[in-house]
Each structure stands twice: as structure tokens, then as C-alpha cells.
């Protein structure tokens, strides 16, 4: 983690501006009054020039910017969302320190408006045709309705399990894919633990449908399901996801109340009992990386923990996020390699997701991002050897506002990687 350089003073906004979080409240009810820009460091600046930028952004993230891709190194890109009232101050700072950047998205609100229009059009089409579109984004109500129908129509292979209720009393639903048998070895997959990462929910829906469609046709998938069960939680953070539709598209956390703070929510992927409260998480309840008051304080996390430990036979763990196009494995909170490092590298590197890249798409594989309290580190520490995090498209052009036109290509390129990792677990029991 970067520390503030000695003698360094952050710039003050040229226009009086409230901190970022109050602006998000304004954004919730007055969309037209809020303009955002996404600024991306090119990573080409000298390390000595970039260090102060990283230190300033890290130290003042709740006052000036919203990280879409956090600072990890002076030589890696950083994506930040900047409120219009702070834009000139940030630009001036970058210019004065000779740090190059490019504007990736001029106005996030324009993309949000287009996204909502596309969803409305898709909804009208679905009502007229009685079909569910996997190439569109959906609300939580639409997803829950689809899950109910999907499990009912494919009861020979799929069952719906409720593992708990969210903070706001929404059901925590898991799809179980199984060809029979009791307490077989199994795979856990979750999407949407960070609520603004809509492409992950969409990929989860497509994947569920693909499992049913390809069983009996795809020999690898068929062999997997004849041996293993698959558990898939599509809406892992339902309260946050609902909030991204009703109030704030950029909401990341849960929606639990934090006593003594006006800020709500916990980062559900910093709340796990694996180096809880360490590097890459925050004790500030207003931070997007807030780890919560204690490990597993979030019912959305605790429900998974209880289910997985109660099952006792989960052999692979795959948590799907966006964005950056990465495939990662433990550890994220320390430089020490796991005892299974070489096998995890091998399993990941065999993935067609990495070997057969579509034109123009670049992906990377390696240990997790610098973060504590993450699900894959918890899973690995609790004996689930094959623990991976996917970061889906893209690398910054659209960020969390990935167009619906990229849902199917994203899901299709992720599918063979999932099969490769799960099949590796099947062939290497432990």
C-alpha cells in the first residue's frame, strides 16, 4: 500500500464540492445534475511521478474519486470515476506532475440512460414473445422469476435452494445442478457479489442455461455432472443489486446499516475470515472497500460460509467479478505462494479463456489482487484447493458499463474456462 509522500499536499477542488458519497445521494435522485468522467492512467509515467498520484488517490479516494480499478503499482493502469466538480483539480494535478491519462467515458450518466432504455425495450419484447433474453440485462425480480421457472422446467437436473435471507429479507437463492447421489463432491460458483458488476449476473444466467442445454451433448460437461454437483448463486448480493436498479447504478456493497455511520453497506468481498481487516480493505464505513465490523458480519457472506462448511465436500470455488480480464487464485493478501501454486497456475493456464483469445482481447493469470478478506482466500484456507476469481470484460473502455451487446461474447469466452477448471478438479480429486 502506498503511503503519502513526505511534504505532499493533495490539491483542493477548484469548485467547492461535497465529498463523493453525498454526491452519490444526489446522483440517486437527480441524475441529470451529475456528470462523471472516467480517467485512466496510461501506466507509462515514470514510477517517481506516479507514486504521488497513487498515494493521493488512495488517501483521498472517498473525497475525490471512485475507484473502478484500484492502484496496485505505478506501472499498472488505474481507472477512476471523477465527479465533475473535482475534474479540473484532478486534471491539473495530473498535468503538473507529468502523468499522462486518457478519458475513457465522458459522461457515465449517458451510458446509464442508454442502458435503462435498452432494458425497457428488451422487457417489452420479452412480454410480447414470452422469451427470456440472455443478451439483455435484467432486474432482480426478472432474475428471480426466471430462476423459479428454470428450476421447475428442468427439475430432472436443477433444483433451487434457499440458503438464507439478505439484510433486507430477500431470498439468497442457489441453483443446484446434479444427476443424483447424496453429498457428492461439488463446485461452488458465485456471481454478483459486487452489485454494480452486472455482466457477472448476466454471465451467471447464461451459464446456468448452458449447463442444462449442453448436458448430454458436451462430453466434458456431461462427465462433470455425472461425477460432481454444481452450485451456482447468481445474485449473491441481492440488496445491493436491487439498489443499482432503483437508486445508484454504481453501488458496490451490501445494504446493511453501519451503527454510528451515515454510510451503509459492507464490501462483501472483504468480509471473509481470511486476513480480515488487512491490506486492501478499509475500516472506514464510507469506503467501497469497507470490511465490516467483523468477519462474516454480512448475512450474505455468512449464509455461504454456513452452507459450504455444512456441505463439507466442495472441491472447487469460482467467484466471478468484473472488470479487467484476469484469472486469479490465492493469495491476495500476501506475497507468499500457496503450496499448490504450480498446480493452480497449470490449471488456469490450460484454460481456453486464455489460450484462444478473441482478437483485441488480452487476459492475464496470476495470484489475486492486493486485498484481504476475500472469498477465494477464505475458500483456499478452508481446504478448497481449486479456488479462482474471474474478472470478466473489459479492460477499461466501458468498465462496469459494459454494453449488453457484449453479454453473450463474454459468457461464451468464459464458459470453456469454467469447464477446464472444473474438469481439472474432477480429474485431480483430493
First to last CA, the chain: 36
Q: What is the model's pLDDT at position 361?
A: 42
User: Using CA atoms, how far apart are residues 46 and 51, in angstroms rounded to an integer?
Assistant: 9
Measuring CA to CA, which residue among 335, 393, 322, 394 is closest to residue 366?
335
Distances 75 to 47, 54, 71, 180 between C-alpha atoms, Å: 7, 11, 9, 50
Measuring CA to CA, which residue among 156, 151, 284, 132 is closest to residue 215?
156
User: Using CA atoms, how far apart are residues 227 and 224, in angstroms rounded to an integer?
Assistant: 5
> H/E element holding 315?
strand 314-322
Cβ–Cβ under 8 Å, residues 275 and 333:
yes
Q: What is the model's pLDDT at position 369?
A: 60
What angle do helix axes 198-214 and 407-427 make, rounded to 10 degrees? 60
Cell numbers placing 226: 455425472
User: Using CA atoms, how far apart are residues 253 and 47, in angstroms rounded to an integer?
Assistant: 32
Angle at 371 between CA 199 and CA 238, to 5 degrees: 40
**How is domain 20-106 classified at the CATH fold level?**
Alpha-Beta Plaits (3.30.70)
Fold: same for 20-106 and 138-427: no
Phi and psi for 338 in degrees, rounded to 5? -75, 160
User: Strand ranges (DSSP E) for 107-220?
Assistant: 158-165, 171-177, 186-191
Q: What is the pLDDT of residues 179-208, one digit of tens each?
A: 998 889 999 999 999 999 999 999 999 999
Cell numbers placing 243: 439498489
Phi-psi category of residue 406: left, alpha or beta, with phi > 0 → left and psi -120 to 50 → alpha = alpha
Secondary structure class of 243 (helix, strand, coil): helix
Phi-psi category of residue 104: left, alpha or beta, with phi > 0 → left and psi -120 to 50 → alpha = alpha
Domain ranges of the chain: 20-106, 138-427
| Architecture of the domain whose range is 138-427 | 3-Layer(aba) Sandwich (3.40)
Q: What is the model's pLDDT at position 75?
A: 56
Instruction: Tell me which DSSP letter residue 167 carries.
Output: T
User: Using CA atoms, how far apart are residues 34 and 113, in angstroms rounded to an integer?
Assistant: 13
Distances 33 to 121, 245, 426 between C-alpha atoms, Å: 25, 18, 53
Cell numbers placing 64: 475525490
Task: Report cis status (omega within 30 of 0) of the bond before 190.
Answer: no
Measuring CA to CA, which residue among 38, 37, 43, 36 is closest to residue 100?
43
Cβ–Cβ under 8 Å, residues 69 and 396:
yes
Phi and psi for 339 in degrees, rounded to 5? -60, -25
Q: What is the model's pLDDT at position 152?
A: 96
- Residue by residue, DSSP assigns 102-144 as EEEES-HHHHHHHHHHHHHHHHHHHHHHT---TTS---HHHHH
Count of CB atoms situated within 10 Å of the CB of 1: 11
Measuring CA to CA, which residue among 80, 76, 50 is closest to residue 65?
80
User: Using CA atoms, how far apart are residues 207 and 415, in angstroms rounded to an integer?
Assistant: 7
Cβ–Cβ under 8 Å, residues 95 and 53:
no
Measuring CA to CA, which residue among 375, 408, 407, 401 is closest to residue 389?
375
Beta bridge pairs of residue 317:
188, 387
Q: What is the model's pLDDT at position 56?
A: 56
* Active site positions, annotated: 391
Q: What is the mean pLDDT of each run of 10 residues along the chain (430 residues)?
A: 31 34 30 35 43 52 62 62 74 74 77 83 68 93 96 97 99 98 95 96 98 98 98 99 93 96 96 94 91 99 99 98 83 90 87 48 53 96 96 76 91 93 95
Amino acid at each position: 500500500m502506498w503511503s503519502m509522500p513526505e511534504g505532499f499536499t493533495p490539491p483542493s477542488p477548484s469548485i467547492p464540492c461535497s465529498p463523493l458519497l453525498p454526491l452519490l445521494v444526489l446522483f440517486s435522485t437527480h441524475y441529470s445534475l451529475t456528470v462523471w468522467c472516467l480517467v485512466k492512467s496510461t501506466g507509462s509515467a515514470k514510477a517517481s511521478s506516479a507514486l504521488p498520484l497513487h498515494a493521493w488517490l488512495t488517501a483521498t479516494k472517498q473525497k475525490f474519486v471512485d475507484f473502478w480499478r484500484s492502484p496496485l503499482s505505478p506501472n499498472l493502469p488505474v481507472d477512476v470515476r471523477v465527479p465533475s466538480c473535482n475534474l479540473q483539480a484532478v486534471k491539473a494535478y495530473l498535468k503538473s506532475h507529468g502523468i499522462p491519462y486518457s478519458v475513457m467515458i465522458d459522461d457515465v450518466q449517458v451510458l446509464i440512460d442508454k442502458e435503462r432504455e435498452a432494458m425497457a425495450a428488451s422487457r417489452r419484447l420479452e412480454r410480447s414473445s414470452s422469451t427470456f433474453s440472455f443478451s439483455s440485462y435484467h432486474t432482480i425480480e426478472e432474475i428471480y422469476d426466471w430462476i423459479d421457472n428454470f428450476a421447475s422446467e428442468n427439475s430432472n437436473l436443477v433444483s433451487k435452494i434457499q440458503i438464507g435471507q439478505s439484510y433486507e429479507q430477500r431470498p439468497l437463492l442457489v441453483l443446484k445442478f446434479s444427476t443424483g447421489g447424496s453429498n457428492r463432491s461439488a463446485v461452488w460458483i458465485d456471481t454478483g457479489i459486487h452489485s454494480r458488476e452486472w455482466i457477472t449476473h448476466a454471465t451467471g444466467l447464461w451459464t446456468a442455461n448452458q449447463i442444462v442445454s449442453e448436458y448430454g451433448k458436451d462430453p466434458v460437461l456431461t462427465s462433470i455432472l455425472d461425477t460432481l454437483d454444481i452450485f451456482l448463486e447468481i445474485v449473491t448480493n441481492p440488496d445491493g443489486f436491487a439498489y443499482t436498479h432503483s437508486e445508484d447504478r454504481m453501488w458496490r456493497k451490501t445494504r446493511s446499516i453501519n451503527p454510528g455511520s451515515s454510510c451503509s453497506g459492507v464490501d462483501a468481498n472483504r468480509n471473509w475470515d481470511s486476513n480480515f481487516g488487512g491490506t486492501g480493505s478499509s475500516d472506514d464505513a464510507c469506503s467501497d472497500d469497507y470490511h465490516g465490523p467483523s468477519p462474516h458480519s454480512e448475512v450474505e457472506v455468512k449464509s455461504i460460509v454456513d452452507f459450504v462448511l455444512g456441505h463439507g465436500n466442495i472441491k472447487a470455488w469460482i467467484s466471478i467479478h468484473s472488470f479487467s480480464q484476469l484469472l486469479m487464485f490465492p493469495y491476495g493478501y500476501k506475497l507468499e505462494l500457496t503450496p499448490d501454486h504450480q498446480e493452480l497456475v497449470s490449471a488456469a493456464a490450460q484454460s481456453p479463456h486464455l489460450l484462444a483469445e478473441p482478437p483485441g482481447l488480452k487476459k492475464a493469470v496470476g495470484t489475486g489482487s492486493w486485498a484481504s478478506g476475500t472469498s477465494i482466500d477464505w475458500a483456499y484456507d478452508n481446504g478448497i484447493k481449486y479456488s479462482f476469481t474471474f474478472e470478466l470484460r473489459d479492460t477499461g473502455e466501458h468498465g462496469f458499463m459494459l454494453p449488453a451487446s457484449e453479454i453473450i461474447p463474454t459468457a461464451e469466452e468464459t464458459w470453456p474456462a469454467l469447464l477446464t477448471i472444473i474438469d481439472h478438479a474432477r480429474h485431480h480429486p483430493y
